[in-house]
Amino acid sequence: MKKLLVSVFVFLFTSAALFSQKSNTQIGREYGEKYRQIGQDRSLSGYEKGQRKKQLSLKKKQEMIRNNQNHNHNNHGVTSNSNEKERLEKKIDRLEEKYDREKKNIENNYNLSKSEKKIRKKLLEKKYKAEKEILKKRKDDL
């Protein structure tokens, strides 16, 4: 009888939780309380407690996944586009810094002749421009 009541309670509590938007920390706190209740239940054997906690952890994972999917769906991608643009801008900045470093390395390499330095700089510049164009196109597409 107790097992039935506990399972009904868990089912009702989790189904009610699915309809409201909660953060993952709130979900974790609720399930932490449930874990504690299972652990303190003296009518259950250790094996049964383990099985219930395992079932509860699966439900917790499913609820968190649904919560994250609902959260992402409700944002309509507005924040992800702006975050993506910022990420691409930072990537372009890092690419420019990398280009400057590599260019200085070529200039400071005294083992290379003047013509070899010139050729390597041109190749580096072509590579840099191609990568920068790709990143700019991605940014403009957003």
pLDDT tens, 6-64? 665 666 555 554 455 677 788 888 888 999 999 999 998 999 999 989 998 888 888 88
> In sequence order, what DSSP letters do the residues of 59-95 get, joined into one string?
HHHHHHHHHHHHHHHHTTTHHHHHHHHHHHHHHHHHH
For the segment 68-119, what is each residue's pLDDT rounded down to a tens digit? 776 655 555 455 677 888 889 999 999 999 999 999 999 999 999 999 999 9
Query: What is the Cα–Cα distance from 105 to 110, expressed in whole angstroms?
Result: 10
Task: Specify the pTM.
Answer: 0.44
pLDDT tens digit string along 114-136? Answer: 999 999 999 999 999 999 999 99
